[in-house]
A and B are shown apart, each in its own frame.
Chain A
Amino acid sequence: MSAAEIADIELVGVTKSYGGNVVVVDNVSLTVPRGEFVSILGPSGCGKTTTLNMIAGFHEPSSGEIRIRGRNQVGVPPEKRNIGLVFQNYALFPHMTVQENVAFGPKMKGQSKSETEEAVRSALKSVRLEGYESRYPKELSGGQQQRTALARAIAPRPSVLLLDEPLSNLDLKLREAMRIELKEVQQQLGMTFVYVTHDQEEAMSMSDRVVVMSDGVVAQEGRPSEIYQNPVSAFVADFIGKSNLLPVKQARDHDGRLTLTLGGGLSLVSERSGDIPANDITLCCIRPENVQLARKGASGENLLTGRVDKLVNLGAHAELWVDVSKDCLLKVQVPVRRLQGIEIGSHVDLLIESAAIQPLAH
């Protein structure tokens, strides 16, 4: 980020603790440039909502600093922060129509009647909810309520929009459709989005950048593909997508190529020595889709043989659990058309690209 650009949101060493000893958010630092879609992703209870509430101003951090467009926000109440927030349960005003709900923000900010009407019209247009102005929230479907909540949050044109698991109450089909719409709205408005979710697919599909949180700390931060391909820890590898995490007994470095010795006499070669010293390597991560079925009689490195223990056909592809050694079950994802002749109990040869094996320290 260039110096001229002001980050929309900056968290500097933000910590939140309750009662002095329960640390819920621990020394989180985060920079969100203007117009970026950032997701905070993590399991339940990891402190996502708490972080969002601190940005919104509902909680004050115990220590650290929060800046919005360069201005320190300590002591600034939520109503003065010019931030939008979409709640998980939408929190629509039940006694107001869609029109009144969406008009609430502009009205409270003292905009004129015509400005307010214009803001409502354009917000409802952005979320494609024209024609529902006079309905009450209880007369709307879940998806329409969701759109109303989004329209209400963007109508006052906040500098930043925070979203706390906004899609988690919708069914899968609608959730997938809304992902695309949300992203479109964000790009169309050029608004900075901070999106909290525990759904990794959501985070991966919409975000410019993902911040993975675990137990109140940032476990990893980066572009979605970066995080998927180069998880820095077993936690991230496991949380984002599916993975095989295999314990490594010993690792040796030969000019950037690592030889990993696993249990049961297995040995793999990895081309990604990375920054981790060979001595610190305790695990390696292999994505199921990076394990291929090898032709019979193939030879070379990273070739494993095993017995199919479980087989789940998922339509487009199938998942195999292959027993490659006494204590090592490898998850493998193969296209269904390659399944011919393979059933539970069959012996298969597996091939793993050396570039697809990610050594991990923890």
Chain B
Amino acid sequence: MSKLLSVGYWVFFSFILLFIALPMVVVLAASVSPTSHVTFEFWTWTLEWFGKLWTSKWLDPFILSAKIAAIVAVISGVLATLGAYAVAYEKCPGHDAIMSFLLSPLAVPQIVKGVAIVLFLSSAGLFRYLGTPGLIAGHIILTVPFAVRMIATSMYNFDKNLDRAARILGASWWQRIRYVLLPLIKPGIFSGMTFAFIISFNNVPLSLFLVRPGQSTLPITVINYFEYSLDPILAAVNVASLLFILAVIFLFERIGGFTVQIHGGSK
């Protein structure tokens, strides 16, 4: 019986893994497709599509997206850390309500947010801020709730006795933040920033409203391209951005050491 269960478990588990991995496998295969129609042939493949990415048509949007994502990650990280500190750590008056408020943008569809931001910018006469500044602001609005969530969790888990221990040992407020709180919530901050980076880098629904002609993010460029042609270069873009994001995650993890946070492991 238990053997049957365990076989069933593995079958089911493999199925799920396959389900998750299949789209990536397809994209990967398509990106090395030898013909401009996407075909799958194991015996002939080419990297020429990746070579074609090395033009400003693709590089410029990539650099813009990466730049925006990096700025968004840093600003969201800072804002969310400050917010989480007040709400989750100091438990300021009404902290529960403020927390709900901070998380509430998660419930608003991105399209609605996009329309709202554009309406706001135009009615406030700030239309010229469309493009990079608007994208950064919009993405921050989008990502802060995620980052607050992750950072607040690590603050809730922080043992307040450590702060008292530091205090009785003579540490000032700033020294306690610097030497005790920040090092211990660093994984939370970095996982929050990683999420912000990925969300910003991949964002379509909000960016659609905020890009300005001639200055487009990578996902928007992909979508525009997709309207006219479906060739392996799209797959190559996707594979390349996937690799880039993996590299970013790896980098952030090296600095922040947050695998523990995400897997809840005991390190």
Interface residues of A (CB under 8 A from B): 56-58, 77-85, 87, 89, 91-95, 104-105, 108-109, 152-153, 156
Q: Contact: B167 with A93, CB < 8 Å?
A: no
B residues 159-183 in Cβ contact with A at 8 Å: 159, 161-162, 164-172, 175, 179-180, 183
A residues less than 8 Å from B170 (CB atoms): 79-80, 82, 105, 108-109, 156
Q: Could you pull out 9 A-B pairs where Cβ atoms are within 8 angstroms? A: A57-B168, A79-B167, A79-B169, A79-B170, A89-B161, A91-B161, A93-B162, A108-B172, A156-B169
A87 nearest in chain B by CB position: B161
Instruction: Tell me whether B240 is interfacial, beta carbon within 8 Å.
Output: no
B residues less than 8 Å from A109 (CB atoms): 170
A residues less than 8 Å from B172 (CB atoms): 79, 108
A94 nearest in chain B by CB position: B184
- Contact (A83, B168) CB under 8 Å given A91-B159, A91-B162, A108-B175: yes
What number of A-B contacts does a CB cutoff of 8 Å give? 58
| A52, chain B: closest CB distance, angstroms | 11
Tell me which of A58, A77, A152 contacts B169 (CB under 8 A).
Answer: A152
| B146, chain A: closest CB distance, angstroms | 25
Given contacts A77-B167, A91-B165, A108-B169, 12 further A-B contacts (CB under 8 A): A79-B168, A79-B169, A79-B171, A85-B165, A85-B168, A91-B159, A93-B162, A94-B184, A95-B184, A104-B166, A105-B169, A108-B171
Ordered nearest first, which 8 A-B pairs have the shortest CB separation?
A105-B169, A91-B161, A91-B165, A108-B170, A108-B171, A85-B168, A109-B170, A78-B167
B residues less than 8 Å from A58 (CB atoms): 164, 167
B186 nearest in chain A by CB position: A95
A residues less than 8 Å from B180 (CB atoms): 93
B residues less than 8 Å from A108 (CB atoms): 166, 169-172, 175
Bound complex: CA A96 to CA B179 (Å): 10
Tell me which of B164, B175, B184 contacts A91 (CB under 8 A).
Answer: B164
Bound complex: CA A103 to CA B166 (Å): 11
Among B166, B170, B179, the most chain A Cβ lie within 10 Å of the Cβ of B170
Interface residues of B (CB under 8 A from A): 159, 161-162, 164-172, 175, 179-180, 183-184
Bound complex: CA A169 to CA B184 (Å): 24
Bound complex: CA A95 to CA B180 (Å): 8
Bound complex: CA A126 to CA B162 (Å): 23
| B162, chain A: closest CB distance, angstroms | 5
Bound complex: CA A82 to CA B168 (Å): 7
A residues less than 8 Å from B171 (CB atoms): 79, 104, 108
- Contact (A78, B184) CB under 8 Å given A91-B159, A105-B169: no
B170 nearest in chain A by CB position: A108
Bound complex: CA A56 to CA B175 (Å): 19
| B221, chain A: closest CB distance, angstroms | 43
| A103, chain B: closest CB distance, angstroms | 10
Bound complex: CA A87 to CA B164 (Å): 10
- Contact (A104, B179) CB under 8 Å given A84-B168, A85-B168, A156-B169: yes
| B19, chain A: closest CB distance, angstroms | 38
A residues less than 8 Å from B166 (CB atoms): 93, 104, 108
Bound complex: CA A105 to CA B162 (Å): 13
B residues less than 8 Å from A80 (CB atoms): 170
| B30, chain A: closest CB distance, angstroms | 45
Bound complex: CA A80 to CA B171 (Å): 9
Among B161, B165, B180, the most chain A Cβ lie within 10 Å of the Cβ of B165
Among A58, A80, A105, the most chain B Cβ lie within 10 Å of the Cβ of A105
Among A92, A93, A94, A109, the most chain B Cβ lie within 10 Å of the Cβ of A93
B residues less than 8 Å from A105 (CB atoms): 169-170
A82 nearest in chain B by CB position: B170
Bound complex: CA A83 to CA B162 (Å): 16
| A252, chain B: closest CB distance, angstroms | 55
Among A57, A81, A85, A153, the most chain B Cβ lie within 10 Å of the Cβ of A85
B residues less than 8 Å from A156 (CB atoms): 169-170
| A65, chain B: closest CB distance, angstroms | 20
| B179, chain A: closest CB distance, angstroms | 7
- Contact (A104, B184) CB under 8 Å given A58-B164, A78-B164: no
B residues less than 8 Å from A78 (CB atoms): 164, 167-168
Bound complex: CA A109 to CA B159 (Å): 23
B160 nearest in chain A by CB position: A91
B residues less than 8 Å from A93 (CB atoms): 162, 165-166, 180
B residues less than 8 Å from A77 (CB atoms): 167
B residues less than 8 Å from A152 (CB atoms): 165, 169
- Contact (A87, B184) CB under 8 Å given A108-B171, A156-B170: no
Bound complex: CA A153 to CA B168 (Å): 9
Q: Contact: A104 with B164, CB < 8 Å?
A: no
A residues less than 8 Å from B183 (CB atoms): 95
| A192, chain B: closest CB distance, angstroms | 15
Bound complex: CA A214 to CA B164 (Å): 26
B residues less than 8 Å from A85 (CB atoms): 164-165, 168
| B92, chain A: closest CB distance, angstroms | 19
B residues less than 8 Å from A153 (CB atoms): 169
B171 nearest in chain A by CB position: A108
